[in-house]
């Protein structure tokens, strides 16, 4: 079903110049568009946001400051570029003079075959100009880019060689506001600006699919050829990007990119940084959102275990009104949730006080930029006598949905937190978890390592 209003031209700023696209397939990626336009610096290395060879930079608002944000252009549908300001690798050098990030990469021997290099340059460029950066560039900012040739050492050297960004057109750009990302409605793509408008579109067009950062849906499109007649982006709904921190809790807008959560949450527990570092990669975190991660209901999503351990609830909004659902009751089956047609996640609420001790563990073949074999979040509050007041054990990758082991929690609550308690939790794991074997790990490993992680959590307790 066609959107109610007439199709509008798609407009955005590309390398400083306005671009008008009259007809765009909503399933065309930004990468395909750029390459067809002759901007072939961005490459397709994997088409699923793993390698970063397609990275470009967006100008984005970062809590009131303007910043460059490196993103995977293979996971942005072209209509999502509407009203954005985008820079590609071709725009960095000026009259033959390389940008600092480019010069450093070249001089350090940071390129061999060169195919991944433009993507690295864009990630490094964004990090070089990161507002508020005082020390050297954070090499973890490049963790979403894969290189098969160099072994990364020279790229690390290039990143560490960069000082403050020069006072140039790019730095001056950061002194001005980022583009406003408002409502858009073009053929096959809608970006409403309110929850209500979004719910309306979903209600009147049963074929419409919700999209947030597209870091999962885009993979479905690129790798599995899945197509949607209409995509409805939540990126224009400012309410979904709100963040608030009060004495009673923390509320995270469901559409806030993961990167911004780390920045906005000022009194975050240490587990947040551990978790974010292991959660996908910077290029993904710059687009991906908690709402998207939870709504896809993947049993191996990294958000659910930690949020379950923090007793999070979800604020849902739709044409039928608003309601709040505990996250523990949100997943109903493999890739299934309580979300109704026309309903979306508006925010995630985390009550305070937070547990005194929270840890997040991720078992994966590769420490950074990988998908969980098993993910676990565990939390413990103890009373002054050392007895467990509150325990939370939440796992991903061990059943059809992420889950909380309530039985295990009850088995230790009121008891001392000791090796005997660990064994009781392990016993529940042994009896109740139902992992599967796949290319990430066997079911035996998933079960045994889940038990082992409880012991690790105990062993690593503050002493």
Partner 1 sequence: MKTAGQPVPHESANGHVTGEALYTDDLAGRFPGLLHAWPVLAPHAHARVISLDAALARVEPGVIDILTGADVPGDGNTGPSRHDEPLFPDEVMFHQQPVAWVLADTLEAARLGASRVIAKYEPLPAILTIQEAIDAGSYLTDSLRIARGDLSALESSALRVEGELSLGGQEHFYLETQASIAWRDESGAISVHSSTQHPSETQEVIARVLGVPRHHITVECLRMGGAFGGKEVQANACAAIAALGVWKTGRAVSVRLTRQLDMALTGKRHPYLARYAAGFSSDGRIEALRLLLYSDGGWSLDLSEPIMWRSLFHCDNAYHLPAVEVTGRVCRTHKTSQTAFRGFGGPQAMVVIEDILAQAAQRLSLPAHVIRERNFYREGDTTHYGQEVEGADRILTIWQRLKKTSRFDERRSVVAAFNAQHAHVKRGIAITPVKFGISFTATFFNQGGALVLIYRDGSVQVNHGGTEMGQGLFTKIRQIAAESLGVAEERVRVMPTRTDKVPNTSATAASAGTDLNGAAVVDACRQITGRLGPVAASLPASATFADVCEAAYRQRIPLFAQGYYKTPDIHFDPVAGRGRPFYYFAYGAAVSEVEVDAFTGAHRLLRTDILEDVGDSVSPIVDRGQIEGGFIQGVGWLTLEELLWDDNGRVATDSASTYKLPSWSEVPEVFEVNFLERATQPGVVLGSKAVGEPPLMLAISVREAIREAVAAFGHGDVVTFASPATPERIFFAVRRVRMGSGVFTFSVPHPL
- Residues 139 to 158 in contact with partner 1, rule: CB under 8 A: 139-140, 142-143, 146-154, 156
| Separation CA 20–CA 47 (nearest Å) | 25
By CB under 8 A, is residue 439 in contact with partner 1?
yes
Q: What's the min distance (Å) between Cβ of 230 and partner 1?
A: 18
Which of these, 231, 238, 122, lies nearest to 180 by C-alpha position? Answer: 238
263-292 residues in contact with partner 1 (CB under 8 A) are none
Residue 227: how many CB atoms within 10 A of its CB?
13
Q: Does 436 bind partner 1 (CB under 8 A)?
A: no
Q: Minimum distance from CB of 292 to partner 1 (Å)?
A: 16
Residues forming a β-bridge with 60: 67
- Chain position carrying tokens 């992420």: 402
Judge whether 417 and 461 are in contact, CB under 8 Å: yes
Cα distance between residue 8 and residue 191, in whole Å: 12
Q: Least distance in Å: CB of 273 to partner 1?
A: 16
3-state secondary structure (DSSP) of residue 344? strand
Residues 194-233 that bind partner 1 (CB under 8 A): 219, 223, 225
Residues 49-68 that bind partner 1 (CB under 8 A): 50-51, 53
Name which position in 63, 114, 136, 353 contacts partner 1 (CB under 8 A).
114
Helix (H) or strand (E) holding 337: strand 336-337
Footprint (CB under 8 A) of partner 1, residues 359-388: 361, 363-371, 373
Task: Using the minimum distance from each CB to partner 1, give the nearer residue, 118 or 342.
Answer: 118
How many of the chain's residues bind partner 1 (CB under 8 A)? Answer: 80
CB-wise, 117 or 313, nearer to partner 1?
117
Among 15, 115, 194, 406, binds partner 1 (CB under 8 A): 115
187 binds partner 1 (CB under 8 A): no
Give the contacts of 391 (CB within 8 A, at least 6 positions apart).
378, 379, 380, 381, 408, 409, 412, 413, 417
Contact status, residue 197 vs residue 251, Cβ threshold 8 Å: no
Q: Is 285 helix (H, G, I), strand (E, B) or coil?
A: helix
Which CB sits closer to partner 1, 47 or 350? 47
What is the Cα–Cα distance from 386 to 371, expressed in whole angstroms?
36
Among 29, 88, 212, 286, binds partner 1 (CB under 8 A): 88
For the record, the structure tokens of 200 come out as: 């309306």
Question: Other C-beta atoms within 10 Å of 114: how many?
Answer: 11
Instruction: Using the rule CB under 8 A, give the single segment among 197-205, 257-265, 322-330, 449-457 that binds partner 1.
Output: 449-457
**Contacting partner 1 (CB under 8 A), which of 60, 92, 211, 422?**
92
Of 152 and 243, the one with the shorter C-beta distance to partner 1 is: 152
Query: Which member of 75, 105, 379, 398 binds partner 1 (CB under 8 A)?
Result: 105
User: Nearer Cβ to partner 1, position 40 or 244?
Assistant: 40
**89 versus 317: smaller Cβ distance to partner 1:** 89
In the three-class reduction of DSSP (H, G, I as helix; E, B as strand; rest coil), residue 407 is classed as helix
x/- map, 13-42, partner 1, by CB under 8 A: ----------------------xx-xxxxx
Distance from CA of residue 269 to its chain's centroid? 19
2 phi and psi, to 5 degrees? -75, 150
Complete edge-to-edge strand list for the sheet that includes strand 55-62: 17-21, 10-14, 85-87, 55-62, 65-72
Closer by beta carbon to partner 1, 105 or else 339: 105
Find the shortest distance in angstroms from Cβ 414 to partner 1. 26
């Amino acid at each position: 079903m066609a959107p109610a209003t007439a199709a509008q031209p798609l407009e955005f700023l590309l390398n400083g110049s306005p671009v008008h696209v009259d007809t765009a397939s909503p399933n065309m990626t930004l990468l395909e568009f750029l390459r067809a336009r002759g901007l072939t610096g961005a490459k397709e290395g994997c088409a699923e946001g793993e390698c970063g060879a397609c990275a470009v930079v967006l100008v984005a608002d970062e809590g009131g400051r303007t910043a460059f944000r490196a993103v995977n252009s293979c996971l942005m549908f072209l209509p999502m570029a509407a009203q954005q300001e985008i820079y590609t690798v071709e725009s960095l050098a000026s009259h033959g003079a390389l940008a600092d990030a480019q010069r450093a990469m070249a001089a350090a021997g940071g390129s061999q075959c060169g195919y991944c290099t433009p993507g690295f340059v864009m990630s490094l460029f964004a990090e070089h100009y990161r507002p508020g950066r005082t020390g050297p560039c954070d090499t973890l900012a490049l963790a979403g880019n894969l290189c098969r040739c160099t072994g990364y050492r020279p790229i690390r050297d290039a990143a560490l060689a960069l000082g403050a960004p020069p006072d140039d057109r790019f730095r001056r750009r950061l002194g001005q506001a980022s583009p406003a990302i408002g409502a858009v409605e073009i053929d096959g793509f809608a970006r409403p600006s309110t929850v209500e408008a979004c719910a309306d579109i979903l209600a009147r067009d049963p074929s419409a699919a919700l999209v947030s950062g597209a870091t999962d849906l885009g993979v479905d499109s690129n790798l599995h050829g899945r197509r949607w007649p209409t995509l409805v982006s939540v990126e224009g709904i400012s309410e979904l990007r709100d963040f608030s921190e009060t004495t009673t809790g923390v509320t995270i807008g469901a559409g806030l990119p993961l990167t911004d959560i780390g920045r906005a949450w000022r009194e975050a527990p240490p587990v947040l940084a551990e978790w974010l570092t292991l959660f996908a990669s910077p290029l993904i975190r710059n687009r991906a959102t908690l709402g998207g991660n939870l709504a896809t209901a993947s049993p191996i999503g990294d958000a659910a275990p930690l949020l379950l351990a923090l007793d999070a609830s979800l604020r849902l909004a739709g044409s039928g009104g608003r309601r709040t659902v505990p996250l523990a009751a949100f997943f109903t089956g493999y890739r299934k949730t309580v979300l109704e047609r026309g309903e979306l996640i508006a925010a995630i609420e985390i009550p305070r006080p937070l547990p005194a001790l929270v840890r997040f563990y991720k078992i994966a073949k590769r420490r950074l930029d990988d998908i969980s074999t098993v993910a676990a979040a565990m939390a413990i509050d103890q009373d002054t006598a050392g007895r467990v007041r509150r325990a939370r054990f939440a796992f991903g990758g061990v059943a059809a949905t992420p889950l909380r082991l309530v039985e295990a929690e009850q088995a230790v609550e009121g008891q001392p937190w000791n090796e005997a308690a660990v064994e009781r939790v392990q016993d529940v794991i042994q009896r109740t978890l139902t992992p599967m074997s796949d290319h990430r790990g066997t079911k035996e490993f998933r079960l045994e390592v889940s038990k082992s992680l409880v012991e690790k959590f105990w062993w690593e307790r503050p002493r």
